[in-house]
Amino acid sequence: MKKTLKYLLGIFVIVITICRCTDTTYTMGDLTAPTDLVITTEIAGATTATPNGDGSGNVKITITANNALAYKVDYDANNAVDLVYLSSGTVTKKYATLGLNTYRITAVAYGKGGTSSTITKDVTVQSNFNVAPAIADNLTGGTSKTWIVDKSLAGHMGVGPWTGSVVPEWWAAAINEKVATANCLYTSTFKFSKDVATGNYTLQVTNPDGAFTKTGSLTTLPGIPATGAEACYTYTGGTSNFSFIPASTGIAASTPSTQTSILLAGNTTYIGYGATQKEYEIMVLTATYMYLRVQGTETGNAWYLKLKAL
């Protein structure tokens, strides 16, 4: 027993001695923010004769910087700032406000330890698109019309793949499916208006029971919690401009679609589901029924919505 205690005491002394001799010094390293941040823009169809593009509104935006780990971009600082994460430093943005307009692009490059650098650049783009009169009239009633998600229809919400399919083959809501768990989906209203004098369009979203949305980076709506499940969250609503644009989804013309999309401005409005994407392709639109398709927040998803006019 004595030999065992002496043996253990010897080991303890050795360990203490080693610990005293192997102190480690830690440093935070270089936290220099990214440098040489540059925004490069290429306007589709830009020539000497048409320096602001071919009217498509498409602009290829490339952001580069030294020692950057990630990028975010706001496509137009003239509206509410809405920084979007870029998986790479290159993206093509469609600017759809009709006519010749100047947009201020803001890019943020992030480096080690959360350091960041910011730069802005103005780009002037020509956008030409004449929406079919029937689409504008059916959506707005000529002046204004209010729509709600139609819980009486099967598939009033649905999810399917973004490419290779134009049906909600993964999931489709049953009639009244969200009444007990997220009734705000059915009580939120979406008022589309046209200013006859100016030709401008606006969307007013009203949420008496909150907004049906996800949380954190999966929505742009202000004031939504950083974490949480898909549900109704306190949000009174908002108003923004919108425009009609040629649909950019790539769906073939032979597929049932109007080939026209509703593009919302800013980050305070949505249609049906408060996600991050702002282009809603109009698949079908009559005076009383609207069927929309929008790219889901999660990569590879397409969301479908059926609404009725009040």
CB contact set of 207 (below 8 Å; sequence gap of 6+): 184, 187, 188, 235, 236, 237
Q: How many domains, in total, are found in the chain?
A: 2
Q: Are residues 255 and 224 in the same domain?
A: yes
Identify whether residues 144 and 288 lie together within a single domain: yes
Q: Which helix (H) or strand (E) holds 151?
A: none
Is 106 in the same domain as 144?
no
Integer Cα distance of 168 and 279 in angstroms: 18
pTM (2 d.p.): 0.65
Chain Cα centroid distance, residue 14: 60
The Cα–Cα gap between 97 and 113 comes to 38
Q: Is residue 1 part of a domain?
A: no
- End position of a domain, from candidates 127, 149, 170: 127
Does 158 lie in the same domain as 79? no
Residue 70 lies in a domain: yes
- The answer to whether residue 18 sits within a structural domain is no
Single residue among 86, 108, 127 that ends a domain in this structure: 127
209 and 91 assigned to the same domain: no
| Structure confidence at residue 282 (pLDDT) | 95
pLDDT in the model for residue 297: 77
Q: Please check whether residue 16 lies inside any domain of the structure.
A: no
Based on the fold, state whether residues 179 and 118 are members of the same structural domain. Answer: no
What is the rounded distance in angstroms from the CA atom of residue 235 to the CA atom of residue 207?
6
pLDDT digit of tens for each residue in the chain (310 aa)?
A: 444 444 444 544 444 444 454 455 555 567 789 999 999 999 999 999 999 998 888 899 999 999 999 999 999 987 767 788 887 889 988 887 778 999 999 999 999 888 999 999 999 999 888 889 999 999 999 999 999 999 999 999 999 998 888 999 999 999 999 999 999 999 999 999 999 988 899 999 999 999 999 998 888 899 999 999 999 999 999 999 998 988 877 676 667 889 899 999 888 999 999 888 889 999 999 999 999 999 887 778 999 999 999 9
Please return the burial class of 199, using the count of CB atoms within 10 Å of its CB with bins 0-12, 13-18 and 19+. exposed
- For residue 251, what are the domain limits? 133-309
* Same-domain status, 71 and 214: no
Complete DSSP assignment for 81-130:
---EEESSSEEEEE--SSEEEEEEEEEEEE-GGG-EEEEEEEEEEEE---
Domain end call among 109, 127, 145: 127
Same domain for 165 and 123: no
State the CB neighbour count (10 A cutoff) for residue 86.
16
> Could you tell me if 137 and 231 lie in one domain?
yes
**Segment holding 189, helix H or strand E:** strand 189-194
Region label for 201, one of left (φ > 0), alpha (ψ between -120 and 50) or beta (otherwise):
beta
Q: Does residue 204 belong to any structural domain of this protein? A: yes
Per the domain annotation, does 26 fall within a domain?
no
Asked whether residue 187 falls in the same domain as residue 302, the answer is yes
Same domain, 239 and 299: yes
pLDDT at 2: 44
The answer to whether residues 111 and 175 belong to one domain is: no
How many CB atoms within 10 Å of residue 62?
14
Q: What is the pLDDT of residue 237?
A: 93
Instruction: Report the CATH number at residue 120.
Output: 2.60.40.10
Q: Give, in order, the Cα–Cα distances in Å from 270 to each of 12, 93, 116, 189, 220.
A: 66, 19, 30, 10, 9
User: For residues 50 and 67, what is the distance between their CA atoms, to the nearest angstrom?
Assistant: 36
226 in a domain, yes or no? yes
Collapsing DSSP states into helix, strand and coil, what is residue 11? Answer: helix
Cβ atoms of 212 and 274 within 8 Å: the answer is yes
Whether residue 267 lies inside any domain: the answer is yes
Q: In angstroms, what CA-CA distances link 137 with 86, 192, 246, 272, 291?
A: 36, 10, 17, 20, 16
| CA–CA distance, 135 with 139 (Å, rounded to integer) | 6
Helices (H), 158-295: 184-187
Instruction: Map residue 18 onto helix, strand or coil.
Output: helix
